[in-house]
Amino acid sequence: MDLVIVSLVHQGPEMVYWMAKNIQKYVTGNFVWVVHYNGAEPLDTNKLPSWAWSVPSPIVTYGYTPRIARAVAMCIDYARSRTQFTNVLTMSSGSAFFRPYTVPNEERVQFATYDPLFHPNGLRYHNEPISVSELGRCGPYIEALGHPQKWQFEGFDAHSEIHERIRARGFEWIVGTQWSGQLIPYTPAIQFADDMLSTPLNGPPYAAEEILMSTYSYNYALRKPLPLWHSEAIIQWGPRYMITEYTRVETYRNLCTVFPGMGHLVCKVPDDLTHPVRVFLTV
């Protein structure tokens, strides 16, 4: 298998069915989609294509806790139990493909943000690699650089169990980024999954998925070495990170003709499946 797409869905079964249609419309190649579904209503897997797999025994997830990273690890572990694969692509339920995507068949590391393109004067310090020597002190390190927003690193500083795993791996750097749209080769994906599944389910309050996966893939890329590519998800950094007009998607499609290296996912789109943006992405 060339690619495993991993998604966490909590809204309801209709969101899963919609995402399957979106993936089917835009994605070609040798891939499977692994879903961690923990909505209140039952999911009818008979309504899903053969390449869509649902993780058994899902956990309850909450934002800004390590539970989301744990659920992602469960998806990766489940994929490993059923197939061999080259890369993992993370895709949130708030993301959607907006242009044709042929899955890569070679190892790729993708997580770099598009902020420099859309906001050249708004670079965030948390996107820069931080030495492992700062483990437990990343928040103060960023603050010392003159940035008041320490992002997720204050919570990460208290996650001592994962610090032990990172040190044991011999990693040199910590790097954070957006979660959706990362592409991670098999080896660092499995390392991440094994380490998350061997730590306590609950932990300090922070979005672990926005630091850990990129940290594992970044250190792998440096050792291999592999080039670093931008994320597959273009995030709208407006109010609540929401794309409310389908014309913005059209703008991104036009930009892709000029910058062909841009991503294939947009984020974040409204949960309402009848919203014009969602409709535009499936017609």
Please indicate, yes or no, if residue 166 is contained in any of the structural domains. Answer: yes
Domain limits at 128? 3-234
The burial class, CB within 10 Å (0-12 / 13-18 / 19+), for 202 is exposed
Please indicate, yes or no, if residue 245 is contained in any of the structural domains. Answer: no
- What type of residue sits at position 160? S
Beta carbons of 151 and 142 less than 8 angstroms apart: yes
Cα distances (angstroms) measured from residue 236 to each of 29, 94, 103, 171, 181:
27, 11, 23, 31, 13
Chain segment 200-249, per-residue pLDDT in tens = 999 999 999 999 999 999 999 999 999 999 999 998 766 667 899 999 99
Q: Which of 241, 268, 259, 234 is nearest to 110 (CA)?
A: 234
Is a pLDDT exceeding 70 seen at residue 8? yes
The burial class, CB within 10 Å (0-12 / 13-18 / 19+), for 87 is buried
Is a pLDDT exceeding 60 seen at residue 29? yes
Q: What is the pLDDT of residue 213?
A: 97
Structural element, H or E, at residue 160: helix 160-169
Q: What is the pLDDT of residue 261?
A: 83
Q: What is the pLDDT of residue 149?
A: 79
Chain segment 33-64, per-residue pLDDT in tens = 999 999 999 999 999 999 999 999 999 999 89
Chain segment 162-201, per-residue pLDDT in tens = 999 999 999 999 999 889 999 999 999 999 999 999 999 9
Please indicate, yes or no, if residue 58 is contained in any of the structural domains. Answer: yes
Mean pLDDT of 256-269: 90
Number of compact structural domains in the chain = 1
Beta carbons of 177 and 215 less than 8 angstroms apart: no
Please indicate, yes or no, if residue 281 is contained in any of the structural domains. Answer: no
Is a pLDDT exceeding 90 seen at residue 147? no
Question: At a CB cut-off of 8 Å and minimum separation 6, what does 133 contact?
Answer: none
Q: Could you give the CA distance from residue 194 to residue 268 in angstroms, rounded to a whole number?
A: 29
Please indicate, yes or no, if residue 78 is contained in any of the structural domains. Answer: yes
Residue for token pair 């309850």: 60
Mean pLDDT of 17-21: 98
Q: Could you give the CA distance from residue 200 to residue 21 in angstroms, rounded to a whole number?
A: 35
- What type of residue sits at position 116? P
CATH code, domain with 178: 3.90.550
Q: What is the pLDDT of residue 107?
A: 98
Beta carbons of 97 and 23 less than 8 angstroms apart: yes
Lowest mean pLDDT among 143-147, 158-162, 276-280: 143-147
Please indicate, yes or no, if residue 118 is contained in any of the structural domains. Answer: yes
Please indicate, yes or no, if residue 276 is contained in any of the structural domains. Answer: no
Whole-model pTM: value is 0.95
Is a pLDDT exceeding 90 seen at residue 269? yes
Please indicate, yes or no, if residue 155 is contained in any of the structural domains. Answer: yes
Chain segment 96-138, per-residue pLDDT in tens = 999 999 999 999 999 987 765 555 555 455 678 999 999 999 9
